């Protein structure tokens, strides 16, 4: 008779390297060493050496810790079998414990696993001829080429490379019309030397190695019979040695990837929306899949929300890195009751250092949440939905309308407060009322005591019509600093809505508006509150009744005008603004005077520049004529005199232009200095 007692033990965590694993969990068997003495007890005893899966910890990121436990007798060994891609991660995460005073003799495993037949061929979905040939590198083959009269070319495949054009080996690679055939060539080692053959020129290939042909046949058989794939997978054996005398309990555990568990919810609302005597009931169900090769029989399942950290990056985004946190039931030997030997679980924590000379130090972790389910039986290759929570939760039914939306119907919503005491991960939630499906929503991450407003349906019995949206701007103050005019205004907006309830039940409607920086609430005929970054206005609607909701808000805005960028006309228009204080209008008028002077000086300078351009044009014309007229002619003498007159005029205009440009620079400097010296306000704007 075996009596098993459940004992809670301390949470164990340690940082370990872990290579993400893609295959399934191993099947365990135990083989006692030869010469183990048989039991001398008259009563039936537990079979020594039977270790079975006791606990599975599955993290939210797809990592699982699998713990085995059982009785061994004297010097015993436990044999495990893993797929080759699993063994590295298991060795890096394996921990074990001998709780009967024994020691761990070590872990024995082959360094170089023997492959079935010495050759392994992988036939993936959509494998091309090139991909298959790359697996045959070094394999003797016979290539039958086009145009060789059936004479094969024998050799060993060196590589398959992308190449095109003629080859120095004497063979020419020809492309098909699309040009795809000549892109890949086979480098072959023959008795004549190295040769390159276009893949398009190969009619068929004969594999000379019998082992490779057998491997192909085995791979094809696996494709034809998917159920036999796992049975044909090459496994590696790992043996755990336990050294001591007598029967005792031992444990061991390791990490493997496992499908991430998911949570879904059922929210059961009371039949009457206004019922205060009965709270909604929240049911949480976790979906867990057993994709391993081991049946789960009466295991204790822990669903954890932590994210173990690994020193080894994951191979894919869907696989988790290593690390573990463990908590569960353990079973060890000791004690006798009423003349019978009874094996009980000791009241001691899982200590992976017991019986082991050197292991990584362990610490304590605090996962965000932990759901423990006892006695879970789940055959391999199947999934189960486990109810992990069913508790009343504080909530009230409301209607929710987002201000600014185009809809005329609000959402049916529920305002929930997490009073379950559990940390609820996100998941889909179905809502039921009075035994009828009422809607669906997604429950966000829900810490204890947190609040959420969740919409799950559209309430067509309530209508929200927008009556008016009135906006009004009121200027408050103005200031003038360094040529920049700042005018502060208050923009007031009044929203009016007609709310109608055509249902036979009274309703509570929440008008929700996002809080925008700079916008301020002023008043409303509906009580106002804030909830998760929103202004929420509550309107009570009697059955078959209607009412009007008014919301008045305002925002403070500041406009900026740069006087330096304005033209003379723009300054004149700004100085005529009667809403500006007198001091600011006077300063703008003075700036307008300086700007006018600057403009006049610039106009005078432009006039002189135009005269200079005209003189240059005249001189160019005269010089062109003088070049073709005889110097002794009277016309030449007249034109030469005119050219001299224009040159004297040019020199005079250049002096005048320099004076005018100096005047423009002085006027511009005066205008800029005036702007920089401005400092008026802020002054209130009177209405």
Phi, psi of 441 (to 5 degrees): -155, 180
Q: What is the pLDDT of residue 127?
A: 73
CA–CA distance, 174 with 165 (Å, rounded to integer): 8
| Coil, helix or strand at residue 429 | strand
- State the CB neighbour count (10 A cutoff) for residue 603: 11
CA–CA distance, 605 with 601 (Å, rounded to integer): 6
CA–CA distance, 487 with 572 (Å, rounded to integer): 18
Q: Are residues 541 and 668 in the same domain?
A: no
The more confidently predicted of residues 128 and 402 is 402
**HEC assignment per residue over 504-524:** CCCEEEEEEEECCCCEEEEEE
In b/e form, how buried is each residue of 486-525, taking b as 16+ CB within 10 angstroms?
ebbbeeeebbbbebebeeeeebbbbbbbeeeeeeeeeebe
Q: What is the pLDDT of residue 325?
A: 29
Quote the distance between the C-alpha of residue 164 and its chain's center.
Answer: 43
Find the helix or strand (DSSP H, E) in which 241 lies: strand 236-243
Across the range 624-634, mean pLDDT stands at: 87
Q: Are residues 546 and 632 in the same domain?
A: no
- 484-522, pLDDT tens digit by residue? 999 999 999 999 999 999 999 999 999 999 998 888 888
Residue 462, pLDDT above cutoff 90: yes
CA–CA distance, 52 with 239 (Å, rounded to integer): 15
Across the range 224-234, mean pLDDT stands at: 51
Across the range 359-373, mean pLDDT stands at: 47
- Residue 659 domain flag: yes
- Residue 39 domain flag: no
Q: What is the pLDDT of residue 86?
A: 76
End-to-end Cα spacing for the chain: 98
* Residue 471: CATH number of its domain: 2.60.40
Across the range 83-103, mean pLDDT stands at: 79
- Among 397, 194, 165, smallest CA distance to 280 is for 397
Across the range 24-43, mean pLDDT stands at: 34
User: What contacts 570, CB < 8 A, 6 or more positions away?
Assistant: none
Q: What is the pLDDT of residue 70?
A: 85
- Residue 168 domain flag: yes
Q: What is the pLDDT of residue 196?
A: 85
Q: Are residues 535 and 617 in the same domain?
A: no
Across the range 306-314, mean pLDDT stands at: 48
Q: Are residues 86 and 196 in the same domain?
A: no
Across the range 337-366, mean pLDDT stands at: 33
Residues 33, 75: contact at Cβ < 8 Å?
yes
User: What contacts 203, CB < 8 A, 6 or more positions away?
Assistant: 144, 145, 146
Across the range 532-550, mean pLDDT stands at: 93
pTM confidence score: 0.58
Across the range 168-183, mean pLDDT stands at: 44
- Residue 395 domain flag: no
Strand partners, 501: 462
Q: List the structure tokens of 579.
A: 């809403």
CA–CA distance, 532 with 452 (Å, rounded to integer): 8
User: What contacts 155, CB < 8 A, 6 or more positions away?
Assistant: 140, 141, 143, 188, 189, 190, 191, 195
Q: What is the pLDDT of residue 653?
A: 94
User: Burial level of 287, CB count in 10 A (0-12/13-18/19+)?
Assistant: middle
Give residue 365's pLDDT band: very low, low, confident or very high (50, 70, 90): very low
Residues 27, 86: contact at Cβ < 8 Å?
no
Residue 4, pLDDT above cutoff 50: no
Percent of the chain scoring above 70 in pLDDT: 75
Q: What is the pLDDT of residue 265?
A: 94
- Among 409, 361, 380, 378, smallest CA distance to 293 is for 380
Residue 657, pLDDT above cutoff 80: yes
* Helices first, then strands: H and E counts in the chain: 7, 35
- 558-603, pLDDT tens digit by residue? 999 999 999 999 999 999 999 999 999 999 999 999 999 999 999 9
Instruction: Return the sign of the alpha-carbon dihedral for residues 605, 606, 609, 611.
Output: negative
Residue 367, pLDDT above cutoff 60: no
User: Interior CA angle at 535 toward 532 and 538, to 5°?
Assistant: 110
The more confidently predicted of residues 53 and 117 is 53
What separation in angstroms does the CA of 599 have from each of 459, 499, 605? 68, 62, 10
Domain boundary residue among 563, 589, 618? 563
Exposure of 566 in the CB half-sphere (CA atoms within 13 A): 23
Find the helix or strand (DSSP H, E) in which 89 lies: helix 84-93
- Residue 408 domain flag: no
340-341 and 236-243 strand pairing: unpaired
50-59 and 296-304 strand pairing: parallel
Give the number of domains in the chain: 4
Q: Are residues 519 and 590 in the same domain?
A: no
Across the range 153-166, mean pLDDT stands at: 78
Residue 209, pLDDT above cutoff 50: yes
* Residue 178: CATH number of its domain: 2.30.30.100
Residue 112, pLDDT above cutoff 90: no
Phi, psi of 569 (to 5 degrees): -65, -40
Residues 359, 260: contact at Cβ < 8 Å?
no
- Residue 400 domain flag: no
Q: What is the pLDDT of residue 571?
A: 93
Q: What is the pLDDT of residue 36?
A: 34
CA–CA distance, 87 with 91 (Å, rounded to integer): 6
Q: Are residues 106 and 239 in the same domain?
A: yes
Strand partners, 242: 76, 104
Domain boundary residue among 536, 563, 590? 563
Strand partners, 184: 162
What separation in angstroms does the CA of 105 have from each of 102, 239, 241, 341, 457? 9, 10, 5, 27, 63
- Residue 185 domain flag: yes
The more confidently predicted of residues 181 and 72 is 72
Q: Are residues 100 and 244 in the same domain?
A: yes
Across the range 262-285, mean pLDDT stands at: 80
Find the range with the poorest average confidence among 24-38, 169-183, 239-253, 619-633. 24-38
Residue 301, pLDDT above cutoff 50: yes
Q: Are residues 529 and 479 in the same domain?
A: yes
Residues 600, 617: contact at Cβ < 8 Å?
no
User: Interior CA angle at 419 toward 418 and 421, to 5°?
Assistant: 95
Q: What is the pLDDT of residue 223?
A: 72
CA–CA distance, 56 with 528 (Å, rounded to integer): 50
CA–CA distance, 672 with 678 (Å, rounded to integer): 10
Range of the domain at 300: 12-34+45-113+235-262+290-384
Exposure of 655 in the CB half-sphere (CA atoms within 13 A): 5
Quote the distance between the C-alpha of residue 269 and its chain's center.
Answer: 34
Q: Are residues 552 and 586 in the same domain?
A: no
Across the range 531-558, mean pLDDT stands at: 92
What separation in angstroms does the CA of 125 have from each of 161, 217, 221, 227, 651? 21, 16, 14, 16, 92
Q: Are residues 241 and 373 in the same domain?
A: yes
Task: Look over the chain and give the mean of its residue pLDDT values, rounded to a whole number.
Answer: 77
Q: Are residues 351 and 240 in the same domain?
A: yes
């394999």: which residue's tokens?
Answer: 139
- State the CB neighbour count (10 A cutoff) for residue 438: 17
| Maximum average pLDDT range among 45-59, 98-112, 251-265, 309-323 | 251-265
Q: What is the pLDDT of residue 592?
A: 94
Across the range 519-532, mean pLDDT stands at: 90
| Maximum average pLDDT range among 215-219, 329-333, 349-353, 540-544 | 540-544
- Residue 439 domain flag: no
Q: Are residues 575 and 505 in the same domain?
A: no
Phi, psi of 126 (to 5 degrees): 75, 30
Domain boundary residue among 563, 591, 612? 563
Give residue 606's pLDDT band: very low, low, confident or very high (50, 70, 90): very high
Across the range 54-71, mean pLDDT stands at: 86
* Residue 650: CATH number of its domain: 1.20.120
Instruction: Compute the chain's Rg from CA coordinates.
Output: 45
| Maximum average pLDDT range among 211-215, 246-250, 563-567 | 563-567
| Coil, helix or strand at residue 634 | helix
CA–CA distance, 590 with 583 (Å, rounded to integer): 11
């Amino acid at each position: 008779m075996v009596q098993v007692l459940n004992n809670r033990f301390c949470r164990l965590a340690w940082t370990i390297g872990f290579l993400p694993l893609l295959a399934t969990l191993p099947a365990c068997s135990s083989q006692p060493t030869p010469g183990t003495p048989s039991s001398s007890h008259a009563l039936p005893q537990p079979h020594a050496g039977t270790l079975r899966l006791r606990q599975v910890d599955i993290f939210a990121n797809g990592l699982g810790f699998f713990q085995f436990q059982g009785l061994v007798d004297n010097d015993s060994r436990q044999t495990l079998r893993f797929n080759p891609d699993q063994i590295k991660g298991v060795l890096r995460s394996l921990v074990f414990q001998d709780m009967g005073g024994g020691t761990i003799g070590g872990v024995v495993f082959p360094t170089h696993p023997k492959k079935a037949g010495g050759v392994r061929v992988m036939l993936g979905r959509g494998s091309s001829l090139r991909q298959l040939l790359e697996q045959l590198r070094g394999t003797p083959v016979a290539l039958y080429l086009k145009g060789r009269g059936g004479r094969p070319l024998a050799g060993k495949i060196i590589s398959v490379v992308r190449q095109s054009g003629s080859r120095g080996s004497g063979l020419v690679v020809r492309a098909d019309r699309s040009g795809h055939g000549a892109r890949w060539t086979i480098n072959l080692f023959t008795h004549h030397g190295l040769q390159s053959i276009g893949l398009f020129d190969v009619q068929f290939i004969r594999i000379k190695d019998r082992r490779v042909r057998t491997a192909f046949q085995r791979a094809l058989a696996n494709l034809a019979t998917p159920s036999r794939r796992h049975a044909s997978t090459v496994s590696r054996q790992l043996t755990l040695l336990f050294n001591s005398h007598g029967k005792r309990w031992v444990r061991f555990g390791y990490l493997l990837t496992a499908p991430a568990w998911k949570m879904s919810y059922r929210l059961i609302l009371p039949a009457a929306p206004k019922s205060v005597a009965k709270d909604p009931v929240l049911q949480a169900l976790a979906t867990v899949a057993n994709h391993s090769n081991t049946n789960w029989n009466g295991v204790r399942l822990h669903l954890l929300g932590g994210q173990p950290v690994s020193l080894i990056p994951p191979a894919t985004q869907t696989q988790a890195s290593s690390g573990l946190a463990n908590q569960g039931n353990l079973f060890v030997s000791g004690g006798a009751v009423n003349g019978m030997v009874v094996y009980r679980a000791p009241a001691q924590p899982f200590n992976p250092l017991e019986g082991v000379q050197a292991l990584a130090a362990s610490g304590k972790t605090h996962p965000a949440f932990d759901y423990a389910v006892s006695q879970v039986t789940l055959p391999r290759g199947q999934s189960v939905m486990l109810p992990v929570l069913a508790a009343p939760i504080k909530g009230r039914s409301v209607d929710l309308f987002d201000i600014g939306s185009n809809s005329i119907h609000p959402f049916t919503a529920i305002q929930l407060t997490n009073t379950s005491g559990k940390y609820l991960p996100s998941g889909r939630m179905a809502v039921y009322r009075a035994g009828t499906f009422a809607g669906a929503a997604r429950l966000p991450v829900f810490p204890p005591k947190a609040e959420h407003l969740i919409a799950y349906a559209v309430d067509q019995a309530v209508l929200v019509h927008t009556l008016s949206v009135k906006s009004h701007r009121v200027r408050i103050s103005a200031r003038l600093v360094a040529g920049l005019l700042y005018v502060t205004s208050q923009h007031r907006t009044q929203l009016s809505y007609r709310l109608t309830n055509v249902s036979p039940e009274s309703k509570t409607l929440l008008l929700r508006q996002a809080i925008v920086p700079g916008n301020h609430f002023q008043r409303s005929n509906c009580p106002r509150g804030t909830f998760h970054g929103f202004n929420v206005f509550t309107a009570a609607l009697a059955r078959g009744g209607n009412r009007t909701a008014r919301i008045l808000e305002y925002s403070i805005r500041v406009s900026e005008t740069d006087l330096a960028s304005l033209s003379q006309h723009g300054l004149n228009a700004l100085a005529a603004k009667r809403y500006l204080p007198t001091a600011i209008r006077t300063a703008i008028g003075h700036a307008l005077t300086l700007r006018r002077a600057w403009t006049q000086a610039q106009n005078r300078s432009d006039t002189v520049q135009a005269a200079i351009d005209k003189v240059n044009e005249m001189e160019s014309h005269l010089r062109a004529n003088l070049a073709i007229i005889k110097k002794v002619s009277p016309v030449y003498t007249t034109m030469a005199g005119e050219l001299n007159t224009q040159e004297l005029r040019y020199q005079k205009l250049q002096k005048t232009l320099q004076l005018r440009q100096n005047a423009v620079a002085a006027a511009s400097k005066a205008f800029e200095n005036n702007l920089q010296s401005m400092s008026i306000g802020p002054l209130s704007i009177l209405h």
